[in-house]
Copies of this chain bind each other. A is one copy, B any other.
Amino acid sequence: MDFFYVLDMLGTLAFAISGALTARYKKFDLFGAAVIAFVTAIGGGTLRDVLIGELPVGWLKQGDYLWVIVTGITLTFFWGRYLEKMRHTLHLFDTIGIAVFTLIGLEKTLAAGLSAPVAIIMGTVSAVFGGVIRDTLSNETPLIFQRDIYATACLAGGALYAVLIYLAFTPLTAAVAMVATIMAIRILAIRYRWRLPQA
| Chain A residues at the B interface, C-beta cutoff of 8 Å | 20, 23-24, 26-33, 35-36, 46, 50-53, 55-57, 60-61, 63, 66, 76-77, 80, 112, 114-115, 117-118, 121-122, 132, 136-142, 144-148, 151-152, 195-199
Contact = CB atoms under 8 A, between A and B. Distances in A.
Copies in the complex: 3
Interface centre among A27, A80, A199 (most CB of B within 10 A): A199
B145 A199 contact: no
Contact of A46 (B20, B31, B51): B51
Contacts of A32: 142, 144-146, 199
Given A30-B197, A80-B199, A139-B139, 12 more contacts: A28-B145, A29-B147, A32-B145, A33-B199, A35-B145, A36-B145, A50-B51, A51-B57, A55-B55, A60-B118, A63-B115, A138-B141
A114 B61 contact: yes
A132 B140 CA distance: 15
A137 B139 contact: no
B199 A29 contact: yes
Given A51-B50, A57-B51, A114-B56, A76 B199 contact: yes
Given A114-B60, A198-B29, A142 B137 contact: yes
A117 B199 contact: no
A69 to B, nearest CB: 11
11 contacts: A24-B198, A31-B144, A32-B142, A32-B145, A32-B146, A50-B51, A51-B57, A53-B55, A63-B117, A132-B137, A137-B142
